Amino acid sequence: MNLRRTLATAQRVLGQLRHDPRTIAMLLVVPCVLLTLLKYMYDGRPGAFDRIGPALLGIFPLLVMFLVTSVAMLRERTTGTLERLLTMPMGRLDLLLGYGLAFGTVALVQAALASALALGPLGVRVAGPTWLIFAVALGDGLLGMALGLLVSAFAATEFQAVQFLPAVLLPQLLLCGLFVPRDSMATVLRWVSDALPLSYAVDAMNRLTATPGVGGDVLVDLAVIAGAALLALGLGAATLRRRTA
């Protein structure tokens, strides 16, 4: 790993994002708009948004980061930019960490905006510490980024990259406990749910909603989210080739 090359990659990606206002709006504005929309959808049911809002605070950033990152990395692959970069003295890890640093910076801002909106103007009440809500939201955004970088290797077009959104994330969304408590699921579905990282994101938010203080279970959930993101980044690095087949 070369720190200078990693930082140069991150600077290049951030520069591209800065000149793409639609992508910036997708990353920073859309999660906040969706949270606000759901707040007013549940306006006639007191307490409903307090129950579902924290979970969605983790889910929306993950979905948006997955979509944008997968398309951005696929564009690098299909335009030949990735191949040209890898013919230079740049390692796979330098490139992936550069992307991770760039989109991680965006995820940091995204998590800060969404958390501030949910806990401030939208009035979501949680028993746990605010900083841990932010940490879980940030971890979810980073997980979405890592999964997006990984699946971009299996798509040939941007349309195919978008198709991975329901294929990879929809099963997790259905089995994460947002709609039905995981304990009440059939045994096989509960086993599958235990293997999906989004389940731990929702579990962490639900625990923070109901339990004050910093519980050990929440830290375990956060560790699983971080581990899944690192695993996805590692697998993504293995898909990078210096020459197109």
Taking the complete model, does pTM exceed 0.85, yes or no? Answer: no
Q: What is the mean pLDDT of the chain?
A: 82
The CA distance from 154 to 165, in Å, is: 12
Residue 80: C-alpha distances to residues 5, 73, 100, 185, 193 (Å)? 19, 11, 20, 46, 38
Residue 75: C-alpha distances to residues 91, 121, 124 (Å)? 19, 37, 38
DSSP tag of 123: -
127-169 tens-digit pLDDT: 778 888 888 888 888 888 888 888 887 877 778 888 888 888 8
- Report CA 166 to chain centroid distance, whole Å: 14
Do the Cβ atoms of 86 and 92 come closer than 8 Å? Answer: yes
Q: Where are the alpha helices (DSSP H) in 25-181?
A: 30-41, 48-78, 81-87, 92-119, 130-151, 158-164, 170-175
Evaluate if residue 224 carries a pLDDT over 90: yes
179-222 tens-digit pLDDT: 888 888 889 999 999 999 999 988 988 888 877 777 788 899 99
Token pair 């990078």 in the structure block, residue: 240
pLDDT band at 244 (very low <50, low <70, confident <90, very high): very low
